[in-house]
Amino acid sequence: MYRSQQLALKYLTAAIALFGIMTIAGLMSAYYYINPNFLFGILNFNIAKILHIDTMIIWLLMGFMGAIYWFLPEEFGRDLVGIKLAEILFYVFCAAVAVVAVVFIVVQHGGSNEMALWFINQGRKYVEAPRWAAVGVVVVMAVFAYNVLGTAYATRKISGITAVLMIDLVPLLVLYLDAFPALSNMSADLFWWWWLVHLWVEATWEVLIGCIMAWTLMQLLGTSRRIVELWLYIEVALVLGTGILGLGHHYFWIGTPGYWLTIGGLFSALEPLPLLGMVIHAIYDAGTHHMKTTNRPAFYWMLAEAFGNFLGGGVWGFMFTLPQVNLYAHGTQWTVSHGHFAFWGAYACAVLSVMYLVIQKLRGLAQVDGRLWKWSFAALNIGVLGMVGALLVAGFAQAFVERAIGGSTHEAYLMGQANPWFVESMITRFIFGIMFAAGYVALVWDFLTIGKRRLVLAAAEAAE
Amino acid sequence: MHLDDPAFWRAGAISTVAVMSVALIMLTVNSLAAIRPGGSHVPHYTVINEHIDYKFDADRGEDVPVIGGSEPLFGKTVDAAQAKALIGKGKMVIQSRACIDCHTFFGNGAYYAPDLTKAWLDPGWKTWEAITGAKTKEEAMVRFLMFPEKYRISERRMPNLGLTRQEAEATVAYLKWMSAVDTNGFPPNFGHMQAKR
């Protein structure tokens, strides 16, 4: 095994641990809605929410990095340049994440000065990590880019997939620099913040995961490089062709000119297209292979990714990015429903697919299957669907009661939050959250044990 | 043209990304001019010296901010530099206390607490003057922001985030300025129901 792949294992392990912390913080965030006195004045909603969304970003990022560190040496036929530095930075990265989490929980916030932003909390959604930690993320990403670009330069072996990956790393790094400013003007602040959030999540991350899924397809189904590269280019063209100006759907109400309503509405409506293409292709792949594969969990998680990305990102996004709908749906639990479904479908499922693929190679398994993965697959996906459905109903109630009827005031907000449809949806969401957490436990147990029991049996039989 | 040739789609991907990126840059230049303080959609920070309203505009078919008439905040007119410093301070309060991880601003944030886009214009502050014993809306807001845990309006409360008087005043100034931003009619129907009552 390459050193880079050993590093990949560390990143994937850290990712799965952070996935657990994200789940706990998510359950807490959901519980505040049911019992607002929970930890009041000790650990308020905003801190649990920050832990939930920031660990979500970090575990997915670590999952991507782990996947790429796993596949790249096989692609290049050698270990990565600068791997020693990357190994050291892994520990620095983990330590930084731990320190930031402790500061969030213990210190929580500082005064209204630059020091607070540098060392405690930046207070911008998704990029709350203090600036020193954001600098750390930049350094980690820069070394990651150096590993990829340096190895490509050293080997002079650049495939279509690695070329796309290398180009994608540039905006991935540059856009993150937007994690630092504290502009007084909220309109300008949100304008640039969306460059970071949207162009990361709905553009560069989509391309990144496209590269990862291309390698996964080649290993899992033996799809030819020519075909995966062809589809990767199509995906890049469609995802970025619609996603770059799809940014406009975040510019409807932040103080930007009215033309964004037309531009954002149009391009957002087109955004599901590449995701629909992925679904069609997944069904085609599944059909041509008669659903037969040596790694069923990886295959099913890959299918879940295609469907989840299309439904959660595409359909759910399309449903409320039409300006006429968004005027009432924006800033309600409708958004939360979309966010959960999209992140889960587009990214989490893909990372889990890669993890099963890695386990197969790691343990030298000819066949990966069993019962436990099915339980975790079902609990996690039904958990997500239940949460997403409940949040959607809550969002409908808010759009109707708070926005359309109530007129969006403080009183209308309270009316919306007290509406039975909203209250019951929050309870339902929490119950499905518990199911999701159970699925996570089963997933981790499966990761730890899958294939091992069979290996032990085989060894015992051989000994006899 | 060969649709099954990766090179064709590679060229397509490169040209699509290039065209879209150029379009985004052009729109960004235009938008940044509109959203600078004093631009077509975002008011100068000194708007905190004026009366702000949010009314239905029949031509545009949506609610728009209406600015006019002197209404100094805390009874004190500020110049451009003072207003800029006050708004800057307000934003630092909002970031350092991670307000956006409970509230929403222009609908962006965490949904656990009310949207603050037009909070300054909320008809509910009249009641809050009585609750807090304040003579003005801005004073009621300051008293609430400094000791929110004292005022229980629903089961969900706002925690005390240790705001000083100066920080609370800066936050109120920020909310007043923000309410004058032209948000293309978001939020819709704001306060119309209360007005009818």
How does pLDDT run across A346-370, given as a tens digit for each residue? 999 999 999 999 999 999 999 999 9
Tokens encoding A261: 């309503």
**In-domain check, residue B196:** no
Q: Are B191 and B122 in contact (CB under 8 A)?
A: yes
Identify each DSSP E strand in chain B by its residue range. 50-57, 62-70, 104-105, 108-109
Which stretches of chain A score pLDDT less than 50?
A: none
Compute the distance between CA of residue A178 and CA of residue A173 in angstroms, rounded to an integer.
Answer: 10
Q: Which CATH number goes with the domain that contains B170?
A: 1.10.760
The reply to whether B30 and B103 lie within a common domain is no
- Residues written for chain A: 464
Q: Do A112 and B89 touch (CB under 8 A)?
A: yes
| Domain match, B67 and B130 both | yes
Segment A52-108, tens digit of pLDDT: 999 999 999 999 999 999 999 999 999 999 999 999 999 999 999 999 999 999 999
Judgement on whether residues B10 and B47 belong to the same structural domain of the protein: no
Q: What φ, ψ does residue A289 adopt, rounded to 5°?
A: -100, 5
Question: B145 with B49, same domain?
Answer: yes
Q: Average the pLDDT over B4-18 and give the result.
A: 90
Average pLDDT over residues B72-76: 96
Task: Say which amino acid occupies A277.
Answer: G
| Beta partners for residue B52, in sequence order | B67
* pLDDT score recorded for residue A393: 98
Q: Is residue A299 part of a domain?
A: no
**B19 shares a domain with B88:** no
Are B149 and B74 in the same domain? yes
Report the number of distinct structural domains present in chain A. Answer: 1
Quick one: A88 exposed, middle or buried, by C-beta within 10 A (0-12, 13-18, 19+)?
A: exposed
B156 and B119 fall within a common domain: yes
Specify if A463 maps to a domain: no
pLDDT of residue A459: 63
Q: Is residue A126 within 8 Å of A57, Cβ to Cβ?
A: yes
- Which of B13, B28, B35 is nearest residue A185 as measured by Cβ atoms? B35
What is the domain-level CATH number for residue A29?
Answer: 1.20.210.10
Split into its structural domains, chain B has a count of: 2
- CA distance linking residue A85 with residue A70, whole number of Å: 16
- pLDDT at position A441 is 98
Amino acid (one-letter) located at A442: A
Q: Can you tell me which residue has the tokens 């209204």?
A: A112
Q: Does residue B188 belong to any structural domain of this protein?
A: no
Contact B35 A253 (CB under 8 A): no
Residue ranges making up the domain that contains B101 = 43-179
Best mutation target, A50, A185, A334, to test chain B (most B CBs within 10 A): A185
pLDDT-derived band at B123 (thresholds 50, 70, 90) equals very high
Per residue in B126-157, pLDDT (tens digit) is 999 999 999 999 999 999 999 999 888 788 99
Is B190 among the domain residues? Answer: no
Closest chain A residue to B95, measured at CA? A123
Buried-state track B86-117, b at ≥16 Cβ within 10 A, e below 16: bbbbbbbbbbbbbbbbbbbbbbbbbbbbbbbb
Given this model, what pLDDT does residue A203 score? 87
Question: Bridge partners of B63?
Answer: B56
Q: Tally C-beta pairs within 8 A across A and B.
A: 257
Helices (H) and strands (E) in chain A, counts: 20, 0
Q: Is residue B189 part of a domain?
A: no
Which chain A residue is nearest to residue B113, measuring alpha carbons? A413
Binary contact (A407, B110; C-beta < 8 A) = no
B interface test, pick of A29, A33, A46, A403 with most B CB neighbours within 10 Å: A46
Average model confidence (pLDDT) for chain B? 94
Q: Please give the structure tokens belonging to residue B84.
A: 């800029």
Residue A98: exposed, middle, or buried by beta-carbon count in 10 A (0-12, 13-18, 19+)? exposed
Q: Chain B residues with CB inside 8 Å of A122's CB? A: 95
Q: Would B134 be classed as within a structural domain? A: yes
User: Is B185 inside any structural domain?
Assistant: no
Write down the pLDDT at residue A256.
97
Q: For the residues B21-39, what does the mean pLDDT come to?
A: 97
H or E element: which one contains B52? strand B50-57
Minimal Cβ distance to B92: which of A112, A188, A236 = A112
Residue with tokens 């230049």: B29
Residue B187 domain-assigned (yes or no):
no
Residues B59 and B155 in one domain: yes
Instruction: Note down the domain range covering A16.
Output: 1-182
Would you say the ipTM is above 0.90?
yes
Closest CA to B118 of B57, B75, B67, B180: B180
- State whether B95 and B127 are in the same domain: yes
Do the chains contact at A253 and B102, CB–CB below 8 Å? no
Residues B52, B145, single domain; the answer is: yes
